[in-house]
Amino acid sequence: MTEPTLQASDAEPRWVGVRREYVVAALVLGALGIDRVFSKHWNGVLVLLATLVGLAVTPLSAHTSIGREVGALFRYALRSRWFVLRVKRQGSTLRLAHRSSVDLRLFRFPQVGRLDLAGQDHELTALLRKVSGTLALGSARSHLGQFVVSSDQGVSTFLALRGSADVGSLVAADQVPLLRCDEGVRVIREGWRSLDCLDASVAVLRVARFANTGQRPLLEILQRIGGHSTLCLQAAVVPTPQARRMTGRAVHRSGVDDAARGAMGFRHSINQEMNKRRLQRREQLVVSGEALLQLAVYLVIEAASQRELRDRVAAALQQAREVGLTLERGHGRQAQWFRWALPGGVEW
């Protein structure tokens, strides 16, 4: 599965509630200490390894570290700058292909205006719940995506669906969000901070964390940044039997982690208690028949030039910070994030 989710506790792999790289660093430092106890001289290999691990786990922000950024730099330097996306229409089905391909159906919502992601649009919310519930009954993971495309001509909302589900009276879309076509080939060049297409420069931002104040829709500000942009809400729908196992294991693991922390003398914080209640609530919803979704939110900004793109990205980051949203820039990961943001969940 991909990294992106709306909450760091879900996105970051952890062992006993601690990031894995910190556990590895602790083990290396422990080995160095044990070696020093039984040896008169420092082991040069262990000292070098401990130094490198210490540098690698040094955080640059709440969501990344030196090691992760160095890894992204190496992968960026070694891969090709160019990639090709192919779109082919087969009746009512669209096929998107890169290294692999996905078949999906794409629909346009009839309403005009900005999408209210807080749930005020009851008809749309009911449809999405019905579709996700139907997809969850299948035996394999399926995917749905919601796309709000803002431009000078207005706002359009799309639903991309990978799997079989009734969508009511929605009409098929005449173009693919982010690609602006319904058939053909798109050649894209990746840069460190952005992508270059034939008709625009593109930057992909990812929502890493949000603050739910309860006063306004969580993602409303991302639809008001001006210019041409696309807000991509992606959801992988987990089959119900697997969802019940996942949520049950999460609650059990939380209890085991709490017991381990208590045995080691650490206090039980209110954040840990809230996280435990959130996991228990999630398990209750899944058992009652609600679908379990693994979410990712991307903001794709387009501009006519690199200078305009930099200004618009900076403005979006500032506006997001003011309402408690944390956006990641994805340096060296723009191609991967763009493919993750595409309808159908290409390469998820």
The reply to whether 89 and 73 lie within a common domain is no
The reply to whether 188 and 294 lie within a common domain is yes
Of 77, 95, 123, at which residue does a domain stop? 77
List the Cα angle 284/290/294 in 5-degree steps: 95
258: left (phi over 0), alpha (psi -120 to 50) or beta: alpha
The reply to whether 166 and 113 lie within a common domain is yes
Q: Is residue 229 part of a domain?
A: yes
Burial (CB count <10 Å: 0-12, 13-18, 19+), residue 240: buried
Torsion sign (Cα): 301, 303, 305, 307: negative
Distance CA 287, CA 248 (A): 10
Burial (CB count <10 Å: 0-12, 13-18, 19+), residue 98: middle
Of 45, 77, 109, at which residue does a domain stop? 77
Query: Mutual orientation of helices 66-78 and 44-56 as an angle, nearest 10°?
Result: 90
Pairing of strands 184-190, 195-196: antiparallel
Mean pLDDT rounded to a whole number for the chain: 80
Distance CA 264, CA 17 (A): 13
Cβ contact 114:120 at 8 Å: no
Token pair belonging to 73: 């730099």
pLDDT tens per residue, range 37-75: 777 677 777 778 777 777 777 777 666 777 778 878 888
The reply to whether 198 and 252 lie within a common domain is no
Local confidence band at 101 (pLDDT 50, 70, 90 cut-offs):
confident
The range of the structural domain enclosing residue 253 comes to 247-282
Cα dihedral: 304, 310, 313, 314 (round 10): -150
Amino acid identity for residue 97 in this structure: A
SS3 assignment, position 113 = coil
Q: DSSP letters along 88-110, please?
A: EEETTEEEEESSSEEEEEEEE--
Distance CA 89, CA 281 (A): 41
Q: Is residue 271 part of a domain?
A: yes
32-41, 125-134, 241-250, 269-278: which has the minimum mean pLDDT? 32-41
pLDDT tens per residue, range 195-215: 998 888 999 999 887 766 555
For the entire predicted model, the pTM comes to: 0.81
Local confidence band at 3 (pLDDT 50, 70, 90 cut-offs):
very low
The reply to whether 293 and 202 lie within a common domain is yes
pLDDT tens per residue, range 147-191: 989 888 888 888 898 877 887 778 888 788 888 777 788 899 999
Q: Is residue 347 part of a domain?
A: no
